[in-house]
Structure 1
Amino acid sequence: MDKNGPIIIIEDDADDQFVLEEVFGELGYSNQRMYFSDGQSALDFLYTSKDLPFIIISDINLPQLNGLELRRKVQTDAELSLKCIPYVYFTTAINQQVVIDAYSTSAQGFFVKPGQYDEIKAIIKLMIDYWKRCAAPNNF
């Protein structure tokens, strides 16, 4: 985790991407935001990029490679797991089994997307501020 690294957002809904970008803009975080509309393109980026992302914020229901499958691949790949990138779910997919499945991938958080802009903004602020304050093995 690089606290100044890019924020990876995996979201296939263009409207949600727009709202998230507005939220990040209002909150004033300097991290570059990178949007991917499917899990496979995000994974390809993680494999090929020299950047050390700050955090991955992922939907669950995604084309090609869903958020759960992507997390498992990141978690089980030795090189990617050593990057210590926090992986947080931000999704409308909510039921007990989905939450169990998400935490079985050792996710660092599961947040339900609210319908109101101010609530989305509050959750993103909470999420980013928390990880900005956390220590990780590779940010000393």
Structure 2
Amino acid sequence: MSRSLNILLIEDDAIEVMKFNRVVSTLKFNHKVIEANNGEVALEILKVKEVIPDIIVLDLNMPKINGIEFLEILKNDDYLKYIPAIVLTTSNNHTDVLQCYKIGIAGYVLKPLKYDDYLNRIQKMLEYWSVNELISQ
């Protein structure tokens, strides 16, 4: 049985944020999206610990704290390190992919150029995490 997710979206590009929210709305998922426009803001949200996200979806290329720096901070925190982090990025650099998996990400998704392909990838990702047993615990 699928469940609603609390998603922390860390993305500095307003168009990408709108696109992600549009997909969630179009697919009629009942997920809550919490937005942070960089890693620093995301860390402040996570420190509050009122609403711990079920998953974190983040871009790699961001100002202040980039995605890899954010992941290193996240995975070194004993309380937050178990939150699945999925990289959603345009970078298909093999070094980035390997580094992210070494840090401990749960997935690496490339942003396709065509909206229909983007919608399809986000749909599959959210469907997977909404039925994942880790999230239901």
TM-score (normalised: structure 1): 0.90
The percent identity for this pair of structures is 29
* Partner Cα distance (1:21, 1:12) in 2: 14
Instruction: Give 3-state SS (helix, strand or coil) of 1:80's partner.
Output: coil
Task: Tell me if the contact between 1:47 and 1:80 (Cα under 8 Å) persists in the aligned partners.
Answer: no
Q: Which amino acid aligns with 1:38?
A: N
TM-score (normalised: structure 2): 0.92
Q: How many residues align?
A: 135
* Partner Cα distance (1:67, 1:122) in 2: 23
Matched ranges for 1:13-24 at <5 A: 13-24=13-24
Instruction: Give 3-state SS (helix, strand or coil) of 2:133's partner.
Output: coil
Query: Which residue is 1:139 aligned to?
Result: 136
Cα root mean square deviation, aligned: 1.4
Structure 1 residue 16: Cα displacement: 0.9
Structure 1 residue 5: Cα displacement: 4.3
Query: Which residue is 2:50 aligned to?
Result: 50
* Partner Cα distance (1:119, 1:43) in 2: 30
Structure 1 residue 79: Cα displacement: 1.5
Q: Which 4+ residue blocks in structure 1 deviate beyond 4 angstroms?
A: none
* Partner Cα distance (1:9, 1:76) in 2: 20
Task: Tell me if the contact between 2:4 and 2:29 (Cα under 8 Å) persists in the aligned partners.
Answer: no
- Show structure 2 runs of 5+ residues with no match: none
